[in-house]
Amino acid sequence: MYRLIYISTASDALTSADVDAIVDASIRNNAPRNITGVLIYNGLNFLQVLEGTRLNVEEVFNRIVQDPRHISVTTVLAESAELRMFAGWSMAGRKTS
Ligand SMILES: Cc1cc2nc3c(=O)[nH]c(=O)nc-3n(C[C@H](O)[C@H](O)[C@H](O)COP(=O)(O)O)c2cc1C
């Protein structure tokens, strides 16, 4: 099992409909790849945890990095891990203030 955590900055043009679309795409794409995690958005920054096989996590992350809806994607942690932190959550979305 592999875990990757990154932070990024939302693009200026980001709308709440964009955030909903990101969460929808995440659930749709992550579940079949057995990727679990969480996506937190505070109105300015994203923090996302992705966990799964290294191959699957890197494949999804490579797409995320190129997404123009955010910038300055910075990996905080990328490591092998024994256990999932978000087992059963294909992508939980949380908006915080
Ligand atoms: C902050 C952020 C987090 C994202 N997280 C995921 C994710 O966990 N899984 C995913 O498939 N796409 C995620 N995306 C969307 C991808 O960049 C991309 O748009 C999407 O995977 C394309 O999927 P589709 O071809 O099914 O529309 C995220 C995008 C942003 C901006």
pLDDT tens across 16-70, in order?
Answer: 999 999 999 998 999 999 999 999 999 999 999 999 999 999 999 999 999 999 9
Considering the segment(s) 2-95 as one domain, its CATH architecture is: 2-Layer Sandwich (3.30)
Nearest C-alpha to atom 8 of ligand 1 is from which residue? 26
Q: Where are the beta strands (DSSP E) in the chain?
A: 2-10, 36-41, 45-52, 70-80, 92-95
- Please check whether residue 5 is in contact with residue 85, taking contact to mean a CB–CB distance below 8 angstroms: no
State the pLDDT at residue 29.
94
Is there an atom of ligand 1 within 6 Å of 19 CB?
A: no
> What distance in angstroms lies between residue 26's CA and the mean position of ligand 1's atoms?
5
State the pLDDT at residue 65.
98
Q: Where are the domains of the chain?
A: 2-95
pLDDT above 80: residue 93 = no
**Bridge partner residues of 51 (DSSP):** 3, 36
